[in-house]
Amino acid sequence: MTSERRPVMLITGASRGIGAAIARAAARQRYDLALNYTHSVDATEELADEIRSAGCRALPVRADVGDEAQVLQMFHDIDRSFDGLDVLVNNAGIAGGYGTLDTVDEAMLARLWAVNVSGPFLCAREAASRMRTDRGGRGGAIVNISSKAAVLGGSGEWVHYAASKGAVDTMTIGLSKELAPFGVRVNGVRPGLIESDFHDHAPPGRVERMAPMIPMLRSGSADEVAGAVLFLAGPDASYITGSFIDVTGGR
């Protein structure tokens, strides 16, 4: 990579919360950014302006990652705007509702799987095809945003969501082995109790109720998750693949 070229990172679900925090952290490390969103046009445009003001390029790209045609169009747009892709952060995800097993229906599961499982798969497929050294790429990194719920199970609240993140963990391990010979590292970050609008799906006060149960006795921030993502994306993690960082305060 020459000094004139900045690395390019695609962040799915970049408009707010953890995605926006990752984008800001990446801009501080001089990445050019493709910012994926589905509905939040204004928030994404404001974030793009912020990144441009920091001297980095920013491309808002609208796509529902659960729709293959939209994913293909998103990568086509990135191809036209940037010279390659170095990092994919699979951050887009939905809670799929809050409740016990008896509240889960087929429509909820179908949408949850489309966004949380098919989306990362499709984006990883397209990103890897551009990164692989055996196909003319320079190598690269994929960081999948999972959840500690994948390990804990989410009982009584989000078993369906936890199951989708368990699939992401399995995908992370499998792809890390499949793509390692071709210069593509694949790792995961598992956030725990993080202050974000994710908890809007739960009864009010969930973060405050749960914080005393965390060994560090507090919730985490989106910026703390972003720090783990940027480490795994960067050169300091050059010999790390198939690994996970739990950003959970010890939970």
Give me the active site residues, please. Answer: 161
DSSP labels, 229-250: HHHHHSGGGTT--S-EEEESTT
* Residue 87 backbone class (left: φ over 0; alpha: ψ -120 to 50; beta: rest): beta
Rg of the chain, C-alpha, whole Å: 17
* Phi, psi of 58, rounded to the nearest 5 degrees: -145, 130
**Residue 94 structure tokens:** 């939905």
In contact, 32 and 4? CB cutoff 8 Å: no
